[in-house]
Amino acid sequence: MSDLPSTITSADRKEIKKALQEMSDSFYQIEAQKDLQKDIAQKMLDDLGIPKKDFNRLAKIFHASNLVEEAARNEEFMEFAEAILIGPENQIESQ
């Protein structure tokens, strides 16, 4: 059994078409903003040599205003990676 309405009135059709146009307009805005973001990252690469991946990561941290949180997460991950990759058997003991 379908969850779709079984009848659509003329008023419903008009409302749906209006909503579809609004969604379509929103999709165009999203596409334009993504293009702008790509252009900004490309400019940072061209002008300053900052790799796009790194600039985009920095922009996300800046936007979320969570540099300290991101640093703590990174430190936690590095401790985990060291425990796995270096491990106690490969560590040099200090005397």
What's the pTM value of the predicted model, to 2 decimals?
A: 0.59
**DSSP H helices in the chain:** 10-48, 52-64, 67-85, 87-90
pLDDT (tens digit per residue) in 60-87 = 888 877 777 878 888 888 888 888 888 7
What is the DSSP code (8-state) at residue 6? S
CB 70 within 8 A of CB 61: yes
State the chain's mean pLDDT as an integer: 88
DSSP 3-state assignment of 62? Answer: helix
